[in-house]
Chain A
Amino acid sequence: MSIGWYLAVSAIVFALGAAGVMVRRNPLVVLLCLELMLNGANLSLVAFSRMWGNGDGQIFALIVMTVAACEVCIGLGMVVAIYRRKLPIDVDELRELQG
């Protein structure tokens, strides 16, 4: 199977994740769509790693997974903090930082 197919799948997943980040309003689902984008990038990293027969891309994919875990940790902590303050869980309503 040619590497190009994997890259096409990764591009589709990344674009879907980007669309989800822009369209959805629930911050939980926005975080899930961020995961989708990171996974699309991961797939292309592993595909390129396979293409060159080199492990660097796989190491980078592992580091991206670590960063994704950190992001989930902080993001879910913020969602829980928002929920505690009885604010609406909706990114359109939470726009105090918008200026």
Chain B
Amino acid sequence: MFFIAGFGAIAGAVGVVMLRDPFYAVLALVAHLLSLAVLFLLLRAEFVAAVQVVVYAGAVMVLYVFVVAYVGGREEPIGELLRGRGPAGAQLRLGAAILSGALLVELLIALLGTGLKAVSGDGAPYAPGPRTFGTPAYIGQLLLTRFLLVFEAASFLLLIAAVGAVVLARRRGGIEEDGDMNGRVLTPLDLVRPRETGTMAEGVGARK
């Protein structure tokens, strides 16, 4: 089971990096996230696995699919991807590949080589029960007692990110100039509501 899920995770990651079309890259990432959730289940992290499937592979990836469909992800020609632009681009890409290979070797040494005595083990003993390791009750208790400050900081960060996304993707104002609106292509959204709505719904409609 581990090898199936691990192979799925690595294959999904390779797909994200290699596939030309951003839409297929998003689908490969969904496959990667699902097999990673299986790995989390094997590690007795039930709640984290559930959150991974529902929030990550569900909500966040739907947002990605919307934006890819909206932006209409242009395909990068694979030859151009490999060659880069001229010799300098090719050298940069080769350097990037070498750098990431070195990073992989370093990580493997750091994770497996040095701490092998401490790492190689089947983990702590585990007894099934309603409030044992990894269940929602356990996670919730930790999150609301010991990690309460972290929890509040995370919620505040989410609020800031939501406001920031609305400001960034707003139809008018923000970092966009008004002069750009004149030459803009008319979309179906413009027909169903006035263009100068300045509300939150503007930002929500603009995300699609």
Binding site for B on A (CB under 8 A): 1-20, 22-26, 28-29, 31-33, 35-36, 39, 42-44, 46-47, 49-56, 58-59, 61-63, 65-74, 76-81, 83-86, 89, 92
* CB–CB A16/B14 < 8 A: yes
**In whole Å, how far is B32's beta carbon from the nearest beta carbon of chain A?**
7
Give the CA-CA distance A84 to B174 in the complex, in Å: 12
* CB–CB B97/A2 < 8 A: no
Q: Interface size (B, Cβ < 8 Å)?
A: 90
**In whole Å, how far is A81's beta carbon from the nearest beta carbon of chain B?**
5
Please give 7 more A-B residue pairs, beta carbons under 8 A apart, in addition to A25-B81, A80-B168.
A14-B103, A16-B100, A46-B45, A49-B45, A65-B56, A77-B168, A80-B169
* CB–CB A66/B154 < 8 A: yes
* CB–CB B104/A28 < 8 A: no
What residue of chain A has the Cβ atom nearest to residue B175's Cβ? Answer: A81
Interface of A is mostly: helix
- With A50-B44, A73-B164 already in contact, the answer to whether A26 and B120 are too (CB < 8 A) is no
* CB–CB A16/B119 < 8 A: no
* CB–CB A19/B100 < 8 A: yes
Binding site for A on B (CB under 8 A): 2, 6, 9-10, 13-14, 16-17, 22, 25-26, 29, 32-33, 36, 39-40, 42-45, 47-48, 51-52, 55-56, 59-60, 63-64, 67-68, 70-71, 73-74, 76, 81, 85, 93, 96-97, 99-101, 103-104, 107-108, 111-112, 116, 119-126, 133-134, 138-139, 142-143, 147, 150, 154, 157-158, 160-162, 164-169, 171, 174-177, 180, 184, 206-207
B9's partner among A13, A18, A47, A69 (CB-CB below 8 A) is A13
